[in-house]
Amino acid sequence: MQDTGTAQTRSGQTADMRVGSHRSAGASPDGSTGAGEQPATLPTGWLFERIGRFLDTHGLSPVPPHFEFAFATLSAPDQPLGKAVAKLTEQGVRLTRVDIERLGWRVVDGPPLIHAPRNDAGVGVGSRVDPSFDADASGHADTAIALVTQTQQHVDGFARMMRTMQDDTRGFGRDLARSAASITKMAEIDEITQITSTMIARIHDSEVRLAVATAEVDALRAKLAEARDIARRDVLTGLPNRRAFEEALAERGTHGGPHCLAVCDIDRFKRVNDLHGHAVGDRVLTAIGQTIAAECSPHLVARHGGEEFAVLLCGVTLEDAAMLFDTLRATVAQKRFRVRETNTALDTVTVSVGITAIHDDEPVETAFARADRLLYAAKDQGRDRICAG
């Protein structure tokens, strides 16, 4: 594609984009001076250099809205916007955010390719759009070049965007699609259209890859949550294990008090294993654990080790906890167990319980040791009973 140095005006006439006649003795909006000869026409590279200097001079980041503002200013210095910017930047004065917004443009950090409506003086007014800034500038080749520049700025930040936000990338693809639709109206810039279409295709592919990666991350997150749950659950009974219980104890402050701790132990459980085998013992252990969990719901019940279960009660007084576990003790004692394979009846299975209140100013280890002592006091008193203190 060859740069002819001319462009179509909005009326369809050819205008020679020469410079020099409109230059003032002071600094131009892009920070350069009027001294010295300039090219007779406006080559693409020279325009890009001026846009780059303009953005740098006025502290504007290289994003599409700023490129569009710079292009509109520098490519038409005799238009209202160009004149307004030239007046504001006399004597090398730098544009401020307020200056740009008063001209009807926006200073942004993201990719939106938009500007506010402007009146004939280049100043934003309500919702009326100045025809001189009509998006259908079908004969303006330099506008297409600016769009490609904007697209390139998107692509430069593409990798970082894809790592952070899939939604932003989708929006990026839609912006490029609109840019492509705009520049395809210009038959003489097929190459630019092809380049932009390629970019859109690449973004689509990246979106697909990111969607797959996101799905994999979600699956991994679910597996990690499952693994975390497994690591905190007793394999035999399905109840939370010691680790889960200790974590709950440490976080009990997030639940309303008072807090009580109970330690339950199956009486003479070793005898069950010795007489009927460990398979039967495991079934008894599981049944007792499920009974404790059901009777104490919604409080946390965990298998703490061996035939011992620990219970954390939140918002329950020691007196109410003692009543709850006395009911539990009676429920367990009423159960009758038989060996599945032989239908042989087991002796009555009972539990002993030690219950204590957890004081706010004491370590949980102290409370647990106290509950453990109360448990063994219950066993010393004949088993099948509770001791609270």
What's the 3-state SS for the chain?
A: CCCCCEEECCCCCEEECCCCCCCCCCECCCCCECCCCCCCCCCHHHHHHHHHHHHHHCCCCCCHHHHHHHHHHHHCCCCHHHHHHHHHCHHHCCCCHHHHHHCCCCCCCCCCCCCCCECCCCCECCCCCCHHHCCCCCCCHHHHHHHHHHHHHHHHCHHHHHHHCHHHHHHHHHHHHHHHHHHCCCHHHHHHHHHHHHHHHHHHHHHHHHHHHHHHHHHHHHHHHHHHHHHCECCCCCCECHHHHHHHHHCHHHCCCCEEEEEEEECCHHHHHHHHCHHHHHHHHHHHHHHHHHHHCCCEEEEEECCEEEEEEECCCHHHHHHHHHHHHHHHHHCCCECCCCCCECCCCCEEEEEEEECCCCCHHHHHHHHHHHHHHHHHCCCCCEEEC
**Rounded Cα distance, 67 and 48, in Å:** 10
Segment 161-190 mean pLDDT: 56
Contact 259, 357 (CB under 8 A): yes
pLDDT of 147 over the 50 cut: no
User: How are strands ordered across the β-sheet holding 300-305?
Assistant: 300-305, 308-314, 259-266, 351-358, 386-388
pLDDT of 290 over the 90 cut: yes
Confidence of residue 51 (pLDDT cuts 50, 70, 90): confident
pLDDT of 115 over the 90 cut: no
- Give me the architecture of the 242-388 domain, per CATH: 2-Layer Sandwich (3.30)
Confidence of residue 136 (pLDDT cuts 50, 70, 90): very low
**Rounded Cα distance, 161 and 155, in Å:** 10
Angle at CA 111, nearest 5°, toward 88 and 186? 85
Going by C-alpha positions, the residue among 185, 133, 142, 146 that lies closest to residue 15 is: 142
Least reliable range by pLDDT among 4-18, 41-55, 109-123, 157-171:
4-18
Task: Give the model's pLDDT for residue 192.
Answer: 65
**Rounded Cα distance, 2 and 318, in Å:** 90
**Rounded Cα distance, 381 and 378, in Å:** 5
Confidence of residue 164 (pLDDT cuts 50, 70, 90): low
pLDDT digits (tens, 9 = 90+) for 245-279: 999 998 887 777 899 999 999 999 999 999 999 99
Mean pLDDT of the chain: 74
Pairing of strands 386-388, 351-358: parallel
pLDDT digits (tens, 9 = 90+) for 191-247: 666 666 777 777 777 777 778 777 777 777 777 777 778 888 999 999 999 999 999
pLDDT of 24 over the 80 cut: no
**Rounded Cα distance, 134 and 130, in Å:** 7
Confidence of residue 179 (pLDDT cuts 50, 70, 90): low
**Rounded Cα distance, 252 and 241, in Å:** 16
Place of tokens 């370590």: 363
Does pTM surpass 0.75? no
Question: Over the range 207-231, which residues count as b (16 or more CB within 10 Å of their CB) and which as e?
Answer: beebeeeeeeeeeeeeeeeeeeeee
> Residue 111's beta-bridge partner residues?
none
Which of 117 and 100 is assigned the larger pLDDT?
Answer: 100
69: its two tokens: 């503002």
Q: Which residues are catalytic?
A: 307
111: its two tokens: 């990719």
Confidence of residue 59 (pLDDT cuts 50, 70, 90): confident
Task: Give the model's pLDDT for residue 206.
Answer: 72
